[in-house]
Chains A and B, each alone.
Chain A
């Protein structure tokens, strides 16, 4: 199976892939956060569609669409950053803390941010 990623105008449609709408839990969470933030009035749906569109139309998007929610997440981060809700640096630092916490959590136990062994590393409190 080698799917061409180069030219979406000629690439085959990724048919027959009637997999669940979310391939991984984080995709569902990113989706749901967006819906919740829209409900909260943080942005209009047109605003969101514009942000998402800017990401998915960048060259290099996979023709089988497997990276769709990666673009979704990038769009969400950009919107939140532009609104002054969550800056890139804060998200980077907190994401690194979550990765350390996961690594320090024994298998089978819930991953909690408190499990981060070096909680001060590059992490200030969220701004704003």
Chain B
């Protein structure tokens, strides 16, 4: 085939993209989905829901003991009171790190994750090595994340399900007394809320 005239590139759809289009066509014809609504969902999860939500929850818990108490007792309600509600009807549980115990969240089953507060999970959270190793060797996994905990610190691993998802509340860093919730939220990383990291130290 010569390509020396009229460079007319064809479009290609890879097989996965073509199958998704096929499903969309069928589901739209049947009135089960509305293409415009699909775009809204994509935009929401790409740009509007993310770890900033969770960081605000954690910062409020650090700054407001009453809120922390509610968060501990009924995380679904506490998080919902800030306007973050799960679409899948899941319940939330907040697990608080202490000097003795570090919490780590995984979903060994698939990739259940607290979307409403953290957005969609990072690639490694969904990948087989994390899903299997977080349970077998949490200390080793944390070391790969650059987090070496004292041997005396217990690590509790929480296995998420479709019905129950976990949010780790990291320990509040020293030197942040009197900080506003907004300023505190900047110290709370996504990894700290999964348990593969700690909150940032104040600069």
Contact = CB atoms under 8 A, between A and B. Distances in A.
A94 B25 contact: yes
Across the A-B interface, give the 10 residue pairs with the lowest CB-CB distance, nearest first: A65-B127, A8-B128, A49-B162, A94-B22, A32-B41, A45-B88, A107-B9, A26-B17, A95-B22, A102-B13
Contact of A95 (B18, B38, B109): B18
B113 to A, nearest CB: 11
B129 A99 contact: no
B42 A31 contact: yes
A82 interface: no
Chain B binding surface SS class: helix
B119 A11 contact: no
Contacts of B132: 8-9
A53 B13 CA distance: 27
30 contacts: A11-B129, A15-B124, A26-B16, A26-B20, A29-B20, A30-B23, A32-B45, A33-B23, A36-B32, A46-B161, A48-B162, A52-B111, A53-B109, A57-B110, A63-B128, A68-B111, A68-B126, A70-B16, A86-B26, A90-B26, A91-B19, A91-B22, A91-B23, A94-B26, A95-B19, A98-B21, A99-B15, A103-B12, A107-B9, A126-B29
A38 B87 CA distance: 9
